[in-house]
Amino acid sequence: MCQTGRQPILVAAKRRVLSAAVVLYGAVYDADWKPHPLRPEPMDALIREITCPVTAVFGELDNLIPRDNVVRMFNVLAQAKKSFDIRMYADAPHGFLNDTMPGRYRPAQTEAAWNQIASFLGAVFAGEWPKDRIRWRFDADSSAEYDFTKMKRWE
């Protein structure tokens, strides 16, 4: 699932035929923002090239992606005038949609995330996210005591 982070952004940046992109808790790791021999274009450069709306799913308890990086994604998309629907789900770790990992799986958040994705794609394909309009949706549910340094890997 984690490859459903950077890869959709990369494809959306390089393929003009996409109608929508879906990101599942990825794309905004610290390393994604810096050029690397295997990933020469940083995330902010790729985001500027996107031509379709993006929906993204993140978890508050993600031990790999700090909340600040999700906010950074929001800011870069907004500055680039891209349409997006980003959500951070409370009490959800990295990989929370994966029902084969009982320690990570969160049924309620998973159902909400799949509804988010299905609703977003349905609206895009129904013409409700027109390319001549910019639509920004950002919904984050996070503790006021959030501390990324205390996040743990859930099995």
pLDDT at 2: 59
Q: How far apart are CA 25 and CA 2, in angstroms?
A: 6
Tokens of 130: 């027109």
Q: What is the pLDDT of residues 1-57, one digit of tens each?
A: 556 788 999 999 999 999 999 999 988 999 999 999 988 999 999 999 999 999 999
Q: How far apart are CA 87 and CA 80, in angstroms?
A: 19
The CATH superfamily holding the domain 3-150 is Alpha/Beta hydrolase fold, catalytic domain (3.40.50.1820)
Question: What's the pTM value of the predicted model, to 2 decimals?
Answer: 0.94
The H or E element containing residue 63 is: none
Q: What is the pLDDT of residues 94-137, one digit of tens each?
A: 999 999 999 999 999 999 999 999 999 999 999 999 999 999 99
Which residue, 80, 68, 86, is CA-closest to 136?
86
pLDDT at 4: 72
- pLDDT at 80 exceeding the cut of 90: yes
pLDDT at 87: 99
Tokens of 91: 């009490």
Say if CB 9 and CB 44 are below 8 A apart: no
- Please report, for residues 41, 55, 70, the alpha-carbon distance to residue 88 in angstroms, rounded to integers and kept in the order given: 25, 11, 8
Chain length of the chain: 155
How far does CA 27 lie from the centroid of its chain? 7
pLDDT at 3: 66
As a whole number of Å, the CA-based R_g of the chain is 15
pLDDT at 155: 87
Domain-by-domain residue ranges, the chain? 3-150
pLDDT at 5: 80
